[in-house]
Amino acid sequence: MKKILLLAFFAAILSGCATTRIDTSISAVSQESRVQFLILHYTALDQPTSLKVLSQQGVSANYLVGNDDPVTVWNLVDENRLAYHAGLSSWNGFSKLNASSIGIEIVNKGFTDTPEGRVYYPFPQKQIDRVIALVKDIVARHQIRPEYILGHSDIAPQRKSDPGPMFPWKQLADAGLIPWPDATQVAEKMPLYEALLPDVSWFQEQLGKYGYTVPKTGILDDETRNVLIAFQTKYRPEKFDGEPDAQTAAMLDVLNNRVKTR
């Protein structure tokens, strides 16, 4: 009899634990979204293959923006869950950005190497319009800072080049989403840098100040060139040779000394 009572007692405890009510009526003032970064990629694949890879293999993204007409946007991973899109990555002292970012993959074949050189594929304007609308929606909900809306090449410049030189970052700037170097200010500063170009250490310091992970060796090594290429591809896509020059210096100067509004 005693054994039966004990079993009934423990069963009652376990039953109570299983139905414990969580009170959600009070919400703490000190909180914010776990999402700090928004990372843009191209898939380097056609649309059917992009969907298959991102939904059935070891990589994923929160969103996939198609290139069909009308443009379809797939939500492949809930924003509250981690997607495997950033890999080994860093920005402004943060690393392993999968855990703190939302990833948007954009269907685009990337590039083809030809005897005449590398040819990049353009992004249809309707696709870019959907990307901008999606970015605006995500930013509004998570309050992502403009300087934390980045390309895969920004956060992994030693191994990634997407979304590439054909991606129109300037349109995101015009939409008020990302910082952009003011053309007038760049033009004013260029003669100073043409007269006396800073050394490699200066470029490494300024790139690091902006957020890139860059060596601080004072040597124009391959790693530093890759970071320069990532920066130039984004802000000066007509020439991204990885060479430190007056225009790149002026753009870095303007960006790093702009008045931040947020």
Of 105, 116, 205, 238, the catalytic one is 105
**Distances in Å between the alpha carbon of 65 and those of 18, 46, 104, 129, 146?**
41, 12, 7, 10, 21
Give the rounded distance of the alpha carbon of 130 from its chain centre. Answer: 17
Give dist(CA 25, CA 153) in Å, integer: 43
Mapping DSSP onto H, E and C, the string for 206-236 reads HHHHHCCCCCCCCCCCHHHHHHHHHHHHHHC
Report which secondary-structure segment, H or E, holds 118: strand 117-120
Under 8 Å between Cβ of 233 and 240 = yes
Peptide bond into 115 cis (omega under 30): no
Give me the residue label for tokens 């960006």.
255
Q: Is 105 a catalytic residue?
A: yes
Give dist(CA 25, CA 144) in Å, integer: 27
Q: Which residues are tagged catalytic? A: 105
